[in-house]
Amino acid sequence: MRSLPKRAGAARIWLSRFGWAALAIGTLMVAAAPDLVELPEPEAAKVLSRATYQPDTGEGGEVSLPHAIYPRTSEHPSSVRYLIGFDLPNAPDKNLFLFIPSINRRIALVFNGDAFFGFESSELWTGPLVSASVMVRLPRLGIVGRNQLTVVVDTGPFAAPAYLSRIYLGTEAALAPSYKLRNFLNNQLKTMALAAQLLLGFGLIVAYFFRPKDPLFSWLATFTVVGFVVTIGLFMGWQPALQRIQPFTSVLIPSMGFLYVGVALALINRPPPNALRLVAIAAPCVLLPFPFIDIMFTRVIWATSVVAVSIATFVAAACIIAWGAFWKGNIDARLMLAPSFLLGWFAVRDAYVTANLPEHTFNLLFPYPRPLWLAFLTAVLMRRMGVSLNQFDRANETLAMKLAEREEELAILSRQERIEAARVTREQERQRLTHDLHDGLSGHLVSIIALSERAGDKSTEQAAREALNDLRLVIYSLDLGDRELPLALANFRERLIPQLHRLGVALDWSIVQLPEVSGVTPGNALAILRILQEAITNAVKHGPAHKIAVRGTAAADGMFVITVENDGHPFVELHRGYGMANMRRRAGQLHGSLKVEACRGGTRVTLLLPSCLPDFEG
């Protein structure tokens, strides 16, 4: 049995290792898949892979397609022409189409001297991060023999290289499948990625206004706003309407990288240093003069610096998240580990591809993992919100429990205060009544006794003494407290002995075995004393008894018993009297019982009562 926890712990460790291994394999497969999977080339199409390169700044020459034009620190062409000649051995019976799988600039096309595709027909997405696929129909059927195709590329005043892939010539049926696939991957999928990025980013900006003091939300909001501006330049910066602002949006790219480092630190609950904020502000300020100088030399330095800083910051952010995931065990960092790695990996990969054109196809993948990164970040924020809501619910439950406990305590205190106030009021009234009875009625009875003794009126004297004794019994009972029943019985015994002695009646009193009785109040104590007084009075009057025995003992089930025995005549209950009825009534009010029975040589009265007397004011 003791080995079960060890086995369970070992199973969790192996399951955790398996999960990490699966995550690593899956991430590596996603990272390597774009370069391992090659898109199919069009079948039954003529491949145009040789061209005459003619820049507008000087002499050209023969080149192979694909071809890349890197910026030079000297004079750089603003546009170039590719003259491509090809032969058609037979007259085509269908319209021919031209298919360019990848081009990252605006182009114009001329076929046998007729312009049929102009710069204004180019895609909206023309920027450093995107490339377009073009498929157009030739304006007329080709001629048998030599044909001439001219591709005019608007290279523009940009530091990023221009790229032109191989060109395919064929029928629509032969070219359309490849065009649709590449158009989906290069244009439509990147458009969807951009839309997802804008949508998720807008949600993060809105979330910031609800938690402006949270470091993660503040850094995310700034990162997203800067990312929106940078995205415009990277996706549409080569459009003529945006060419003037594209350099100024590019200077924000290093700032975006430093903000990403701040996001990574905030994600693992590490406060980003103030110096990082200053660097994120200073970086674009340092690069801002370069767009104003606007020569190719400064463009190359500026582009190189932007790319180097961006790669370094994105890789640093991925390392910070990996550190938080592995060494700190941060759950959010573990969720963001794979997308952060892919973001950094594709930044490095795209820089390598751009630096090695045309050996590699111009197919930049950095736009794809960013919406994935934002989607996982949204999941992280939702998890945090769920945790916060659970904590809020638990706090509410705790507060509700404490409030209920406090309300119960206040209710108990209120009841206790009411009971105490009532007790104090009763005590004050009891003291007043005691004093009034003692000073008033008791004094009158003493005067009556004295006058009766002088007048020799024994009957009046006896009645007055009985009334005085009864009054003293009431007065004494008013001063009793809880658990003072033995004291009340002892006082009753002290007052009873002289009376019985004058009558020649012996008293045998023993209440040592009486258990502790709680809930004693003046009312229920007086009721017990009146029952005993009535039992002894009956023994004296109707006995007549010469000896009376009083015993107090414990009984079963939390009860106690007081018995009064006398040696007079056996008990005969008189129906015309009220004494026995009053005794039974008082016993019932105390949740007890009274039993009167004849015994050998006399009568026995048994009073059975609970050890915790009810609150009865009789």
| CATH code where residue 575 lies | 3.30.565.10
Mean of the pLDDT values across residues 599-605?
85
User: What Rg, from alpha-carbon coordinates, does the chain have?
Assistant: 54
Task: Check whether residue 162 and residue 301 sit in a common domain.
Answer: no
Highest mean pLDDT among 140-144, 294-298, 498-502: 498-502
| 273 DSSP assignment | P
Mean pLDDT of the chain: 83
Q: Report whether 459 contacts 471 (CB < 8 A).
A: no
Task: Check whether residue 222 and residue 359 sit in a common domain.
Answer: yes
Phi and psi, residue 143, nearest 5°: -100, 150
- 544 falls in which pLDDT band (50, 70, 90)? confident
Tell me, what CATH number does 147's domain have?
A: 2.60.120.260
Task: Check whether residue 248 and residue 169 sit in a common domain.
Answer: no
Cα angle 578, 580, 581 (rounded to 5 degrees) comes to 65
Q: Is 549 part of a structural domain of the chain?
A: yes
Q: Is 541 part of a structural domain of the chain?
A: yes
- 313 falls in which pLDDT band (50, 70, 90)? very high
Domain boundary among 395, 428, 461: 395
In the structure, how many helices (H) and strands (E) does the chain have?
A: 16, 17
Q: Is the pLDDT of residue 50 over 90?
A: yes
Q: Is 515 part of a structural domain of the chain?
A: yes
Distance separating alpha carbons of residues 500 and 506, to the nearest angstrom: 7
Task: Check whether residue 173 and residue 98 sit in a common domain.
Answer: yes
| 242 DSSP assignment | G
For 11-26, the pLDDT digits (tens) are: 666 766 777 788 888 8
Cα angle 595, 599, 601 (rounded to 5 degrees) comes to 140
pLDDT at 273: 92
Mean of the pLDDT values across residues 399-403?
92
pLDDT at 19: 73
pLDDT at 562: 92
Give the C-alpha distances (Å, rounded to integers) separating 385 from 118, 201, 337, 340, 392.
52, 17, 20, 21, 10
Q: What is the dihedral of CA 414, 419, 422, 426, to 10 degrees?
A: -160
Which of 40, 61, 138 lies closest to 98 in space, CA to CA?
138
Mean of the pLDDT values across residues 179-191?
84
Task: Check whether residue 288 and residue 371 sit in a common domain.
Answer: yes
Q: Is 590 part of a structural domain of the chain?
A: yes
pLDDT at 475: 66
Q: Is the pLDDT of residue 437 over 90?
A: no
Domain boundary among 341, 367, 395: 395
Residue that the structure tokens 């304006």 belong to: 139
Domain boundary among 346, 376, 395: 395
- Tally of domains within the chain: 3
Domain that holds residue 580: 486-618
Which of 257, 264, 256, 267 lies closest to 214 in space, CA to CA?
267
pLDDT at 206: 86
For 195-218, the pLDDT digits (tens) are: 887 887 888 888 888 888 888 889
Distance separating alpha carbons of residues 45 and 94, to the nearest angstrom: 13
Task: Check whether residue 345 and residue 197 sit in a common domain.
Answer: yes
Tell me, what CATH number does 362's domain have?
A: 1.20.1070
**Which segment of 115-119, 235-239, 572-576 scores lowest on mean pLDDT?**
572-576
Distance separating alpha carbons of residues 547 and 91, to the nearest angstrom: 153
Phi-psi region of 591 (alpha: psi -120 to 50; beta: other; left: phi over 0): left
Mean of the pLDDT values across residues 45-64?
89
Q: Is 148 part of a structural domain of the chain?
A: yes
Q: Report whether 51 contacts 67 (CB < 8 A).
A: yes
* HEC per residue, 406-458: HHHHHHHHHHHHHHHHHHHHHHHHHHHHHHHHHHHHHHHHHHHHHHHHHHCCH
| 303 DSSP assignment | H
Q: Global pTM?
A: 0.65
Distance separating alpha carbons of residues 599 and 567, to the nearest angstrom: 9
What contacts 268, CB < 8 A, 6 or more positions away? Answer: 320, 321, 323, 324, 328, 330, 332, 333
Task: Check whether residue 122 and residue 194 sit in a common domain.
Answer: no
Mean of the pLDDT values across residues 143-169?
88
For 277-308, the pLDDT digits (tens) are: 999 999 989 888 887 776 777 778 888 888 89
pLDDT at 93: 67
Q: Is the pLDDT of residue 512 over 80?
A: yes
Show the tokens assigned to 169.
């010539």
Q: Is 412 part of a structural domain of the chain?
A: no
567-583 CB burial, b ≥16 within 10 A, e <16: bbeebeeeeeeeebeeb
Mean of the pLDDT values across residues 40-59?
88
Task: Check whether residue 95 and residue 162 sit in a common domain.
Answer: yes
Mean of the pLDDT values across residues 261-284?
92
Highest mean pLDDT among 92-101, 184-193, 387-396, 471-480: 387-396
pLDDT at 1: 47
